[in-house]
Structure 1
């Protein structure tokens, strides 16, 4: 037990180190010591344990008081309560001391809360904010501090709130600052400094927010509502400024896109297709960005969409134009085969909407590839013929075998590329190789007797070219069922104006015709239909599509001549082809004028092309808008981009057709219409006032036609040439051009074809002397004996007509037939 007493005494000694407190514990310890002296150890141990528990309780109270005492910041009510607790501890009244602690905590919380507000006010006072009253705030703060020390908490808190208001700017001051920022913002907005105006309005909002807070502190609810109304208006102004920024950005994007479109147009005109595509793609990106802004802000979007659609079409034109450019390879070019394979790979990679055109280009490229390979085989055979002539029979036979194998591979590729039109000619060449190999073998085994006849390249007949049918399938039209009894097949070709056009095969004789069927027989469509019929019935010319017969049953329609080459495509073309086509069109128009018919709508879509050998002859179609010279000279429904200035005023004359002839030739030579625009109003403005650059600026070969074309495009109809003058000008240019072209041509087949075609044109012009000259030139170059005989017969017939002074259209048809034989 003594040991236990010793341990408790040590613990007590450690607890009551601080002599300032623990008086109650010390009294009990003294009692315990007296009991030990009496050897009453049990009683002493009990007292010591009681003293220990009391000491622990006292230490706990002291620690709590010290922690709270550290939070006391002023000598006020909290300090007085703390001192009272200490007094009770020293007197041993621990229960009362402990009871005062919650009161101290509550008082201390209030004092510190108020004191923190006082510190906030002191910081505000030290800043001396504009629009505040630091002196009044300081006085109120001092008075609040005194009341806090006295424990008059409510009064102190009220005063410190007043001091805080005095230390802050007044609502009126803040409102003035907000107003100043708002006025500066409005001035910036009117100067189109939208970003600056937004920043100023944001600062104004901040000042209004401070003013609103000050008004709330003063419980001025009316002012709060007024400020909120002003803030809402400023937020709307900020949004309007953002809209203005977006509008400016949209216009900037459109302007930049337009610049890239112009660049693209120039690159396209100069056949720099890669740069054109790059420019158009950038224009597309800019238009799309502009459209995104327009849709976000609900701006006017139609024009941007038109621009985007236009540039997307341009991208297609560029891709297709590049394809056309890549396949335009001279078959005599040593690199022709490589270039054409590269072009074929490019065409197959194209992803455009006009799939039919891509197919056409792929087919054309494939045909050119086979043509180049055939030409290679021909050259190989020609060299082999030289070996034979020099007596190198063995080498000639081996070379013929190589050519035979090469032609076998060419035929396989022709099948693979679906160039079936060339297969008969390839087979003929291969058969020629077989025969030559056999003849040489005979020569080698019987030198004395065999006299072989070597089959030369030019002795081989060319196969008939098979044309792929054009068209886009069938169009649903219940009326077509009524035509099935008369026609074996009906294939939709296209539409325009008020009618659809179908390719049809007659059941009775198997002939191919075109049917023009009005889409709907409204009063307006009926008027156009019968006007076209009335004018067309007057016309019978080889350069005008022939009206075979008008039909009223089973419903009104026209049966027309079918033209196999399709319509003229817009875009730049070879100058010789352009002159031939425009000469044909001019001949047709001149004849129409002689029958008192003005066409009034000459454009690429109304020019059809008929194949004649490797060339085309133009035929005019669509007389729906034509007018009789003797009737009222007004016209409606013309195509704005190809219209003459007087058509915009509702007038038309023979000189209107002259204007359109000149413009059509301009487009064929340059590849673009100078009066094109984004809107009808822009197009009409150009037609009325714009004077385009001469075509030679974009095509140097056209220099000899500049004056003639620019006269046709005169705004004054009286200054334009007549159709005859225009046609004769083009004809003279063609004669000169063809002379140079023939002089530079080395390939005999090309030389023959061009000579015959020039003779064909001379005949159409009635110049039989020149026609005869070209035929005689061609006859001297023809190697095929049968063709040579046919050509001599033709020459004899024309020679007789020249001597007798006879003129006739039949001779033109004879030359046309001969051209087809030569192909």
Structure 2
């Protein structure tokens, strides 16, 4: 480290210590960063931990952690949870005096004649339980206007944190009991929910109410097929939304995260530090598939010893059947991949996630750039001029993936890169000569050279009828 860098670090350490000298209740990393003129928590994290090692700072076990100049005793930490009486007084005060614009903690402390440190502890506790919220990145606090607190749907994932606050009288919480959060992404989140009236389990997708979301609902409502996830209903309602990707410098992630790498559904999210926004959200109630995704099945197969060739081919036939129906109804899915294929309790395979669906055409036309997942995209899809044959390319990659074990992500990326150049593993060509032939055609660089989905369906029917003995041998 140069002398200039040391001087800069020392200066930042002094600024942080000076800032915290006036904060008897401590502050989060983001609050500290703002207080010393920086933008993000990651701008000060390394310095905070260095100061902790030298005994100049202390942090508690809250999420996010609270940093202070004094060490808090176990009793103090334990008592940092809001007492019922003070919590109710704070909420009443915010609902009366701060109903529109919110209130600052020191105003609340003065009005209630309570130490500011106790008010701050109580507010942070209420924030973690979802009863109050901070307005953006300000120091103003506010309660839901309806009845003193909204209800949170929280998710902490490997690559995505999500926190959605709904009003207590929202249709979702009126009709459903939240079971768990299945996953989150840039689109929003999907939850597993039990309907209070019929007692059945459903998947409910929650996303911003946009033209794209409306297009997904219309497609789901129109497409009715045994190999398509069933749609039941949809509605919109207001929500306060915090939804951001983790950008911790210490996190290294695959370019293509998978569902099973998500974790801790319904947990307290780090997003509590981040500003949110009021949004009109669309709720889509769909069929819940008990056995997860095709991606989950592939992972278990990769970890096992059995090949499961026969089952894989029967599953692929169902996927092809679903795509054949989608194309016959004048649509292109545009985001076919194992994560968007689901498996029901009776082993029926169903295609879902129609967020990228579009209308098909008799000839290639220019389309939008929001075209799906890069690793499964056809060559022409990235150029935004394509037709329904783009789905065939993705089907070719899926077919290869359910037949051939690829234990690691790096191995999968390398093999997929080769497949795009028509380079197949020699062992695969020897063991799956017939399958290799059809997959190679599906992965043709030129869309016109790819078979249409009806040809693929006929091939599968003929092959499965003719080769029952061969299927058993390949599955051994």
Q: Structure 2 length as normaliser, TM-score?
A: 0.50
Higher RCO (C-alpha 8 Å, min separation 6): 2
Q: Structure 1 length as normaliser, TM-score?
A: 0.29
Higher strand share: 2
Higher helix share: 1
